Amino acid sequence: MNEPPTAACVLTTPVKVIQASNDIAADPFQERTGGLQRIRRQILGGAFEFVTQSPELLRLVRWAYDGLPGHRLSRSPARITVRLVLGGGAQAARRPRGARRRVASEPGPFAMSSAPGLLCGAGDCSTVAVMSAEQRAALIVVARELLEFPYHVRYELIELAVFTLAARVQGLMPLHAACVGRGRRGLLLIGESGSGKSTAVLHCALRGIELASEDSLFVAPQSLLATGVANFLHVRRESLRFLSAADARLIRRAPVIRRRSGVRKFEIDLRQERFRLAPRPPAIGGLVALSARSAGTGRLLLPIAPDEALARLEASQPYAASQPGWGIFTQRMRALPAYELRRGRHPRESAAALEQLLRE
């Protein structure tokens, strides 16, 4: 997970932004705008409302959040609004692919877009994402050309806005971590790149262990309730050699996404009968630090002293460690058992060890 931005994040890419259909002077925040489509989803403990006039952007929201358990962290979930606007005027839409854009003698007109408490003036050719925890709102203007890259729009704009607002509005700890669970109890999994965290989570999921999150986890500091968006699991092709023929076929049918780093991974949709998603936020009952070190003939799970466990946790979470609730969070984590999980001969051994730990 990329570190969440501050209250506002602005990205740019070449495209025009559509002019607001309403008179911006009479209704600057578009509070009376009609014809908008709205869908509501309970995500990361928050009551999110997505508002847009674009069927294309609405499909991306459904792609990300349909079919997920509605996790609640409190009786009165925070209400958060995400306004999505599809940019690109008629001329931009008609321009042939690869054709050079004509340079104008002066900049094009500024277009106004808005969400509750947010007013954005976007110049010619802008993709803009603005997030305000104080207003509990986000405004995302998406360049029409970016519809050719739906994964990036979903992951880098829509999901980033949801993650940022859910954490900041509700005071959650945003962790680069995974969480697997059973019933109301969960294990917080951390590990450096190459430690096998994603592979271990995959084998946990294939064993029927409940999954709360693979990569981006959000924890309430006081209660240690954990929530995530367990919509997709990302695994490398080389992980297939550890799977049964049937499971390997299942993974190969998944689309392949390309990270900004150039790494390609299968994107497995977890919202199918083969997998179990955590129906409610589990309470963290222990910390497991995955290690690339082989267990050899020894034990896979080795206890870690509280001071060492907290040092590893802080080292793996540079952004969360700077947040106001970090002290309370680590105080609560200190009281929980912690382990190092070393590599076994097969990833299913790691999954079995985690499953046994959950049962105990």
- What's the per-residue H, E or C state across 83-126? EEEECCCHHHHHCCCCCCCCCCCCCCCCEEEEECCEEEEECCCC
Q: 31: buried, middle or exposed (CB in 10 Å: 19+, 13-18, 0-12)? A: exposed
Range from 136-145, 241-250, 277-286 that averages highest in pLDDT? 277-286
> What per-residue confidence (pLDDT) applies to 6?
35
Phi, psi (degrees; rounded to nearest 5) at 190: -125, 160
> What per-residue confidence (pLDDT) applies to 190?
96
The residue that leads in pLDDT, 117 or 296, is 296
| Residue 13 clears pLDDT 50, i.e. is over it | no
With a CB cutoff of 8 Å and minimum separation 6, the contacts of 297 are none
Pick the CATH number of 173-359 from 1.20.1530, 1.10.3470, 1.25.40, 3.40.50: 3.40.50
The confidence band for 26, taking pLDDT boundaries of 50, 70 and 90, is low
The predicted model gives 54-59 an average pLDDT of 96
> What per-residue confidence (pLDDT) applies to 198?
87
| Residue 10 clears pLDDT 80, i.e. is over it | no
Whole-angstrom distance between the N-terminal and C-terminal Cα of the chain?
30
In the 8-state DSSP scheme, what is residue 78?
P
The predicted model gives 322-334 an average pLDDT of 96
> What per-residue confidence (pLDDT) applies to 2?
43
CA distance 310 to 294: 23
Q: What is the pLDDT of residues 83-113, one digit of tens each?
A: 999 986 434 444 555 555 544 444 445 566 6
Q: CB of 45 within 8 A of CB of 218?
A: yes
| Residue 51 clears pLDDT 90, i.e. is over it | yes
- Domain borders along the chain are 8-170, 173-359
Range from 12-21, 181-190, 236-245 that averages highest in pLDDT? 181-190
Helix (H, G, I), strand (E, B) or coil at 58: helix
The confidence band for 316, taking pLDDT boundaries of 50, 70 and 90, is very high
Choice among 75-79, 96-100, 156-160, 313-317 with the minimum mean pLDDT: 96-100
Q: CB of 156 within 8 A of CB of 70?
A: no
With a CB cutoff of 8 Å and minimum separation 6, the contacts of 307 are none
- Tell me the average pLDDT of the chain: 85
Q: CB of 282 within 8 A of CB of 296?
A: no
> What per-residue confidence (pLDDT) applies to 90?
38
Q: What is the pLDDT of residues 127-184, one digit of tens each?
A: 888 999 999 999 999 988 889 999 999 999 999 999 999 999 999 999 999 999 998 9
The residue that leads in pLDDT, 261 or 52, is 52
Q: In Å, how far are 94, 127, 144, 167 from 91, measured between CA atoms? A: 5, 17, 12, 39
CA distance 232 to 82: 21
The predicted model gives 306-332 an average pLDDT of 96
Strand 256-258 relative to strand 128-132, pairing: unpaired
Q: What percent of the chain has pLDDT over 90?
A: 66
